[in-house]
């Protein structure tokens, strides 16, 4: 057995963690402190397992001698955490002082504060309290401070806690009771929270708050909730008499609510109620903005006029995105050119905004001005930079700049306490805690040190952490780090079997999981290519490789095989149209069928921009952009993005209308 094999032999089972990555790590640190720490690591693991099993005798036999080991704070945490009910303040104080700069300090403090609250030990609670996000702990702190006597600053803090759109926990009731007896408690304050609750759709909270108002005011809360549930019925009733300021708020809310499903009906209601609103009332602008956005989403002919009528001060990124989608869908180039005269605002992507300004100018007889914009955009490494280069017939600018570390920088990051702990946790088999430790450490590093941490994560194969770290400090130019090519043999095998370009598979994987093989989405999709278990079982059956268990989807080789096959099914369904297949992979083929145009083929670039789901629009653009990047990374010919944008056939025709749809992309 080789020395390297002996190092692996002492490792615990690591689930689906790639042994190849562990090998790489072991080789990197061969002859270094990894070997020196192997006995301590094993002893730590045994001590921790003893704690888990409740074997304190074994723990007390193993723990001595580990005091200077990097993971000793974790051992102490797992010993102390379940014993806090019997712990003395000095024990906890000593722990927090010794390990204040580790990720286990905050959770222990939180648990200790909960313990002290249960004990009713408010002096110690305040002594140990530090700023918290948790509402329960904040309320306990405020209540404890009020026990010392009236305090206006504390009451103001409680007021801010109370002004929440969501219900607060019952532990806050004593603090809120004190607030309700203070001079800060007014009907105006109650209305402020009711407005927050209604804006968030928390109608039960709003109803509860309404009980604190006078009967005359309470009826408006009841009517507001009724208007939220059935705005059309409420707006056609006579319950808005007499005119009242709150009644006008309810009218505005009901019209905005109705507009989401029927902007024309909402507009008719607005025509009836508008005379009640005085000039300059901010509610007028809010209603007109809601109507314009809804009309644009519903592609109504009135949408252009209504978007133009929005007060310029209310034109935010959401309005600008609606303007783009509407003008592009309708081919309304003069409107697009006019709307894009303004700068992008808020979180509107400025490159997207400038690109479509150039398209608007180009289509309205201002080719020289458009060309200047395209030339500026073509210098950017971005989807819009690449499509601008396509308009000019130029090459893509990748601008790769590798991360360069000095020996001193490399040595410094490897010896950084948090990085040592992360590495040791990983080698001990605690991957989740290892990644948490690494992320905690990066979040506390000075920005200039973060690329070195990314380089270390790249070496370990933690590609999603590399992407996170470089994004954190806006270091976007190392394309080897940001667009890695792991799992090459398995991906090549699946690419051949599914007849899909490897660059496309890498692109999907990068967009789906950033190469974290343990990724799990809120919808339950798992693994590198984010395969839903239900989809995975069907595809596995189609491949003749039934899944023994859903957990097998975390296995990189299995996940790549199933994800690739499913993508091939989507490509086949949409006749090789990558934009449509990527949209289907992200949002489901049923949605893509509904998004196909009516009555004729649609330019694919326009179709991508008008996909109703923001996430899917971004996903499709990223898939096309990442595919070009991966072609470059793999030394292949980079196919222009616009060559991959096959026109989208209409709903009334088959997805195979490739020949008749080809003209839809020409000249655009």
3-state secondary structure of 602: strand
Question: What per-residue confidence (pLDDT) applies to 501?
Answer: 98
Question: Is the separation of the CB atoms in 560 and 491 below 8 Å?
Answer: yes
Residue in 40, 512, 605, 631 annotated catalytic: 512
Q: Would you say residue 404 has pLDDT above 70?
A: yes
Average the pLDDT over each of 69-73, 372-376, 653-657 and give the range with the smallest value.
653-657
3-state secondary structure of 94: helix
Q: Cα separation of 365 and 344, whole Å?
A: 23
- If one counts every other C-beta atom within 10 angstroms of the C-beta of residue 562, the result is 27
Q: Would you say residue 482 has pLDDT above 60?
A: yes
> Is 512 marked active-site?
yes
Question: What per-residue confidence (pLDDT) applies to 666?
Answer: 63
User: Domain spanning 489-665: which CATH class is it, in words?
Assistant: mainly alpha
**Average pLDDT of the segment spanning 450-472:** 98
CA distances from 74 to 107, 172, 426 (A): 12, 32, 13
Question: What per-residue confidence (pLDDT) applies to 206?
Answer: 98
Q: In the block, which residue shows the tokens 């026109």?
A: 647
Question: Is the separation of the CB atoms in 574 and 585 below 8 Å?
Answer: no
Question: What per-residue confidence (pLDDT) applies to 665?
Answer: 73
**Average pLDDT of the segment spanning 85-113:** 98
Q: pLDDT tens digit string along 253-312?
A: 999 999 999 999 999 999 999 999 999 999 999 999 999 999 999 999 999 999 999 999
pLDDT band at 654 (very low <50, low <70, confident <90, very high): low
The pLDDT > 90 percentage for the chain reads 88
The pLDDT > 70 percentage for the chain reads 93
Q: Cα separation of 63 and 318, whole Å?
A: 57
Boundaries of every domain in the chain: 489-665
pLDDT band at 7 (very low <50, low <70, confident <90, very high): very low
pLDDT band at 377 (very low <50, low <70, confident <90, very high): very high
């Amino acid at each position: 057995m080789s020395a390297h094999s002996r190092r692996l032999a002492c490792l615990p089972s690591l689930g689906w963690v790639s042994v190849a990555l562990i090998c790489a790590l072991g080789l990197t640190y061969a002859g270094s402190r990894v070997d020196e720490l192997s006995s301590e690591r094993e002893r730590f693991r045994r001590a921790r397992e003893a704690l888990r099993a409740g074997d304190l005798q074994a723990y007390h036999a193993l723990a001595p001698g580990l005091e200077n080991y990097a993971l000793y704070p974790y051992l102490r945490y797992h010993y102390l955490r379940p014993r806090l009910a019997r712990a003395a303040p000095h024990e906890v104080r000593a722990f927090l002082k010794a390990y204040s700069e580790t990720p286990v300090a905050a959770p222990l403090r939180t648990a200790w504060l909960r313990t002290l609250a249960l004990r009713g030990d408010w002096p110690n609670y305040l002594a140990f309290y530090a700023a918290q996000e948790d509402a329960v702990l904040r309320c306990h702190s405020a209540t404890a401070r009020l026990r010392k006597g009236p305090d206006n600053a504390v009451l103001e803090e409680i007021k801010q806690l109370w002004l929440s759109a969501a219900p607060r926990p019952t532990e806050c009731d004593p603090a809120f009771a004190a607030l309700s007896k203070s001079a800060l408690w007014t009907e105006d304050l109650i209305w402020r929270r009711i407005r927050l609750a209604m804006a968030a759709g928390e109608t039960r909270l709003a109803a509860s708050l309404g009980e604190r108002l006078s009967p005359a005011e309470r009826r408006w809360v009841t009517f507001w909730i009724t208007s939220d549930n059935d705005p059309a019925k409420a707006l056609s009733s006579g319950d808005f008499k007499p005119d009242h300021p709150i009644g006008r708020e309810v009218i505005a809310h009901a019209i905005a609510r109705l507009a989401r499903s029927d902007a024309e009906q909402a507009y008719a209601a607005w025509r009836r109620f508008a005379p009640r609103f005085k000039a300059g009332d901010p509610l007028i602008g809010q209603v007109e903005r809601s109507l314009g956005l809804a009309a644009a989403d519903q592609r109504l002919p009135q949408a252009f006029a209504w978007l133009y009528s929005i007060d310029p001060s209310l034109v935010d990124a959401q309005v600008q995105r609606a303007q783009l989608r509407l003008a592009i869908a309708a081919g309304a180039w003069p409107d697009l050119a006019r709307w894009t005269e303004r700068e992008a605002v808020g979180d509107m992507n400025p490159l997207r905004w400038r690109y479509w300004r150039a398209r608007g100018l180009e289509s309205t007889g201002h080719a020289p001005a458009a060309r200047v914009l395209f030339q500026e955009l073509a210098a950017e490494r971005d989807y819009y930079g690449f499509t601008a280069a396509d308009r000019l017939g130029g090459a893509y600018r990748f601008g790769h700049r590798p991360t360069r570390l000095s020996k001193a920088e490399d040595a410094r990051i490897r010896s950084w306490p948090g990085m040592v702990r992360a590495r040791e946790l990983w080698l001990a088999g605690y991957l989740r805690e290892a990644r948490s430790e690494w992320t905690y450490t990066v979040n506390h590093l000075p920005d200039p040190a973060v690329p070195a941490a990314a380089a270390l994560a790249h070496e370990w194969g933690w590609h999603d952490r590399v992407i996170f770290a470089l994004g954190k400090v806006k270091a976007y130019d190392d394309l080897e780090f940001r667009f890695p090519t792991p799992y090459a043999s398995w991906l090549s095998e699946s690419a051949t079997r599914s007849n899909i370009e490897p660059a496309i598979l890498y692109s999907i994987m990068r967009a789906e999981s950033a190469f974290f093989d343990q990724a799990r989405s809120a919808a339950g999709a798992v693994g590198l290519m984010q395969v839903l278990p239900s989809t995975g079982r069907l595809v596995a059956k189609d491949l003749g490789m039934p899944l023994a268990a859903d957990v097998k989807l975390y296995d990189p080789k299995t996940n790549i095989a199933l994800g690739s096959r499913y993508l091939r099914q989507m490509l086949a369904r949409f006749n090789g149209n990558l934009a449509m297949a990527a949209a289907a992979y992200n949002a489901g083929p049923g949605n893509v069928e509904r998004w196909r145009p009516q009555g004729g083929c649609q330019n694919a670039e326009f179709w991508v921009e008008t996909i109703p789901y923001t996430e899917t629009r971004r996903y499709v653009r990223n898939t096309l952009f990442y595919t070009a990047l991966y072609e470059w990374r793999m030394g292949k010919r980079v196919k222009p993005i616009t060559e991959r944008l096959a026109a989208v056939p209409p709903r009334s025709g088959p997805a195979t209308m490739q020949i008749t749809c080809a003209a839809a992309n020409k000249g655009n």
